[in-house]
Structure 1
Amino acid sequence: MPILKPNSPSDQPSSAATTATALLPIAIGLPALASVFADRLGTAGSAALAVASLVLIAGVAGLLGRSAARNTAARDRRDQDVLDALDPLAGARR
């Protein structure tokens, strides 16, 4: 068992991070569209675009948070495995 695996699956971005990255330009662009087309859309349309932007930003933040938590947990497990492999008395303490 190699201690450090150079290409472990947790090193690659998850689908949640990929989806969040793809949605980020849309979430950033919606307020710009709301301000550019404010006269044509009216108050209700501008408010709907602003709310949609906030919902997308919250969704992106949730996806990135979930991805970061998953990566942190995987890294913690991997670090613990490395420390256990390096410590000859690991079995005695448990």
Structure 2
Amino acid sequence: MSILKLAPSSEEGAPRSTTAPTTAALLPLAVMLPAVTVMFHDRFGVAASVALVVVSLVLVAAGGALVARTAARADADAIRARRDADVLDALEPLAGARR
């Protein structure tokens, strides 16, 4: 049994999202880089410290973009499902009978 076993999807053929594991992998690195920068600032110098802070900010932005993209995709899927249900209701001879 795997520790990282993904939960089964609600639909059998639905693709599984890789956003959560990717974001979870980015988070420790995004937290570690500023800590390393603060601890070793005297040894690294200004240019390396600035580069580490910029890389950390890029990682945080990438994680935020992944989460935003997943939220947008979920909203689009909900809208598509609602539209499909409306089309099916309109096509049925007894509209609304299945509800």
TM-score interval, smaller chain = 0.5 to 0.7
- Structure 2 CA distance, aligned partners of 1:38 and 1:61? 27
Residue 55 of structure 2 aligns to which amino acid in structure 1? A
Whether 2:65 is the aligned partner of 1:62: answer yes
CA RMSD of aligned residues (A): 2.5
Deviations 1:16-49 (A, max 9, x none): 3431221122112211111111111111111111
Displacement of 1:62: 1.2
Residue 55 of structure 1 aligns with an amino acid whose one-letter code is: V
| Aligned equivalents of 2:68, 2:49: Cα separation in 1 | 28
Letter in 1 for 2:46: T
1:1-94 aligned within 5 A: 7-8=10-11, 9=14, 14-82=17-85, 88=95
Shift of 1:84: 5.9
* Bigger fraction of residues in helix: 1
Q: With a CA cutoff of 8 Å and minimum separation of 6, indicate the structure with the bigger relative contact order.
A: 1
Could you tell me which runs of 5 or more consecutive residues in structure 2 were left unpaired when the two chains were aligned.
Answer: 1-8
Q: State whether residues 34 and 49 of structure 1, in contact with CA within 8 Å, keep that contact through their aligned partners in structure 2.
A: yes
Partner in structure 1 of residue 3 of structure 2 = none
Normalised by the length of structure 2, the TM-score is 0.65
Instruction: Determine what percentage of the aligned residue pairs are the same residue.
Output: 40
Runs of 4+ in 1 over 3 A off after TM superposition: 79-87
Moved more, 28-37 or 74-83: 74-83
Structure 1 range deviating more: 77-86 or 39-48 = 77-86
